[in-house]
């Protein structure tokens, strides 16, 4: 007879350690030296530096990648068979805390400006704005559990929680719509 209740879980803490939703890292590769959004010159002060590290410690929330498949209906006589259609990954989002010194919002806007520059009205090249990202999940003692390689990621929009003289004294958060081509999950021992 199977065990009833929860006490049998206590005998196997190596298996039944619950995952926590606040032990993760989100890394965007190759965004260390980006021209600030809205700038058309190339002076040294016009660049956002250290973008990869800024986002790495600023990300507060992130969606775990997922995809959907539409069904293809095949009819014959009075019956219908359904087959799996193409896979499409849903857009994701990342939420960052806008630290004053790090200027997290400028990093996101500079990345977004690679795909569409509002000053020059030029649309960027995919080779410049599509980036590889990595989402890593950890245990509470920071042992890696799983990670995702996210391919072809770019920022579709950047928004924030606004400003107000009314209300609380909360941190400023910036949300970026993250569009990507695909994501592959790995276990830590896979290479």
How far apart CA 94 and CA 91 sit, in angstroms, is 10
In a domain, residue 8? The reply is: no
Enter the tokens of residue 33: 């030296």
DSSP 8-state assignment for residue 163 = -
For residue 103, CA distances in Å to 127, 159, 173, 184 come to 25, 14, 11, 30
> How far apart are alpha carbons 12 and 7 in whole angstroms?
10
Domain enclosing residue 123, as ranges:
17-186
- Confidence band, pLDDT 50/70/90 cuts, at residue 118: confident
Asked if residue 191 belongs to a domain, the reply is no
Say what the pLDDT of residue 41 is: 72
At 134, phi and psi to the nearest 5?
-135, 130
Identify the pLDDT of residue 2.
Answer: 62
Q: Is residue 2 part of a domain?
A: no
The pLDDT value given to residue 155: 96
**pLDDT higher than threshold 90 for residue 150:** yes
Q: Does residue 100 fall inside a structural domain?
A: yes
Q: What is the CATH number of the domain that holds 136?
A: 2.30.110
Assign residue 5 a region: left if phi > 0, alpha if psi is -120 to 50, beta otherwise? left
**Total number of domains constituting the chain:** 1
Average model confidence (pLDDT) across the chain: 89
Model pLDDT for residues 67-117, shown as the tens digit of each residue: 999 999 999 999 999 999 999 999 999 999 999 888 899 999 999 999 998
- Whole-model pTM: value is 0.86
pLDDT tens, position by position, 9-41: 788 888 888 888 899 999 999 998 888 888 877
Which secondary-structure segment (H or E) carries 8? helix 7-10
Res 1 pLDDT > 70: no
48-57, 143-152, 161-170: least confidently modelled range? 161-170
Residue 21 located in a structural domain: yes
- State yes or no: pLDDT of 44 exceeds 80: no
Residue 152 covered by a domain: yes
pLDDT at 154: 97
> Does the residue 46 lie in any domain?
yes
Q: Is pLDDT of 4 > 80?
A: no
Domain annotation covers residue 5? no
């Amino acid at each position: 007879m199977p065990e009833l209740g929860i006490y049998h879980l206590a005998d196997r803490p190596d298996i039944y350690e619950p995952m926590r939703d606040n032990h993760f890292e989100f890394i965007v590769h190759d965004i260390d030296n980006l021209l600030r959004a809205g700038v058309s010159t190339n002076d040294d002060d016009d660049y956002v530096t250290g973008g990869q590290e800024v986002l790495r410690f600023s990300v507060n929330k992130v969606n775990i990648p997922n995809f959907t498949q539409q069904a293809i209906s095949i009819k014959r006589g009075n019956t219908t068979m359904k087959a799996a259609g193409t896979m499409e990954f849903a857009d994701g989002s990342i939420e960052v805390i806008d630290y004053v010194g790090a200027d997290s919002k400028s990093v996101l806007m500079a990345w977004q400006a690679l795909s569409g520059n509002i000053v020059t009205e030029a649309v960027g090249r995919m080779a410049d704005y599509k980036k590889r990202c990595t989402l890593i999940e950890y245990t509470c003692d920071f042992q890696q559990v799983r990670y995702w390689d996210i391919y072809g990621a770019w920022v579709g929009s950047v928004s924030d929680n606004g400003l107000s003289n009314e209300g609380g004294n909360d941190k400023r958060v910036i949300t970026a719509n993250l569009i990507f081509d695909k994501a592959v999950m790995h276990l830590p021992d896979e290479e």
